[in-house]
Amino acid sequence: MITTVGVLGAGQMGNGIAHVFAQYGYRVFLYDISEAQLEKAVNTIRQNLERQARKGAIAESLVGETVGRITATKNMADLAGCDFCVEAVTEHEPLKLDIFRKLDEIVQPGAILASNTSSIPITKIASVTKRPTKVIGMHFMNPVPVMKLVEVIRGHATSDETFSLTAALVAGLEKEMAVSQDYPGFIVNRVLIPMINEAIFALYEGIATAEDIDKGMKLGTNQPMGPLVLADFIGLDTVLAIAGVLYDGFKDPKYRPCPLLVKMVNAGDLGRKSGRGFYTY
């Protein structure tokens, strides 16, 4: 039975994942190397819970109860007793592999290790552990407390038991599951990132302004936001990283990142988080 969950990485995705697990009654250990990031994450979780309470989505008493279930730590060894861990650090393969090597040595042998990666092969991540049958992809969407979808990705060795337990967790968080095979980009980013990249090419080639590209896709295809606004929201560095995984993984020129995207990332124009991307914030 899963009662204690470890979340590695206290950034935007990590704090959202910790939020939903704690909200649904799990004890959560939230790990990050930065004390400031941990403090920010817990404050963000509290603010988001208070917003939910004001809207009537949750009882006000749940705010304090939920935050009280979260233990923030800079020591990965504190996750030793966790039944289930979700890694949610930066989309950087060497970093993720290093974390899984360390986590595999720390966490009890029966625990499941999941990655929130949006593009890196689960089979590759599992290969650096001694428990490949207990490694799985659990890709939450941003913002985690609001978005209903979780992509679940089985690695080459992921067991049926690991998959079933993960599927039950998704259902217990009142989210919907989409199951993907372990190929670059999985489902969502396999479709989404090439669309965003093509929108960037349209801007790069002078076909239309950013505003008109977004207006065309928003009003013409009924998307809640245009692809360039969405790219800014995701972070252009993350978009580029996933585009690179697709390009390297398939060796197909249709996944080639737009030169404008590369230039903007090199310039530090990363979207909302840097204050400037395709738009200014």
Q: What is the dihedral of CA 40, 42, 44, 45, to 10 degrees?
A: 160
**Quick one: which of 161, 160, 163, 111 has its CA closest to 137?**
163
Cα→Cα distances 225→111, 142, 187, 202, 215, Å = 39, 14, 19, 17, 8
**Is 68 annotated as contributing to ligand binding?**
no
Q: CA 249, CA 246: separation in Å to the nearest integer?
A: 5
The length of the chain in residues reads 281
Transcribe 145-195 into DSSP letters.
Answer: TT--EEEEEE-TT--HHHHHHHHHHHHHTT-EEEEE-SSTTTTHHHHHHHH
Say what angle helices 12-23 and 61-68 make with each other, to 10 degrees: 110
**Is 11 annotated as contributing to ligand binding?**
yes
**Is 251 annotated as contributing to ligand binding?**
no
**Is 96 annotated as contributing to ligand binding?**
yes
Q: Is 161 one of the catalytic residues?
A: no
Q: Is 118 one of the catalytic residues?
A: yes
**Is 14 annotated as contributing to ligand binding?**
yes
**Is 198 annotated as contributing to ligand binding?**
no
Catalytic residue among 119, 180, 189, 197: 189
Point out which residues pair with 115 in neighbouring strands: 87, 137
**Quick one: which of 133, 179, 172 has its CA closest to 155?**
133
Catalytic residue among 15, 118, 119, 180: 118
Dihedral (CA of 18, 238, 146, 171) sign: negative
Q: What is the dihedral of CA 57, 66, 42, 98, to 10 degrees?
A: -110
**Is 91 annotated as contributing to ligand binding?**
yes
Catalytic residue among 115, 116, 119, 139: 139
**Is 10 annotated as contributing to ligand binding?**
yes
**Is 12 annotated as contributing to ligand binding?**
yes
Q: How many CA atoms lie within 13 A of 204 on its CB side?
A: 14
Structure tokens at 55: 């809207």
**Is 6 annotated as contributing to ligand binding?**
no
**Is 114 annotated as contributing to ligand binding?**
no
**Is 118 annotated as contributing to ligand binding?**
yes
Q: Is 127 one of the catalytic residues?
A: no
Q: Is 139 one of the catalytic residues?
A: yes
Catalytic residue among 15, 119, 151, 180: 151
Catalytic residues: 118, 139, 151, 189
Bind-site residues for NAD(+): 9-14, 32, 91, 96, 118, 142, 273
Bind-site residues: 9-14, 32, 91, 96, 118, 142, 273
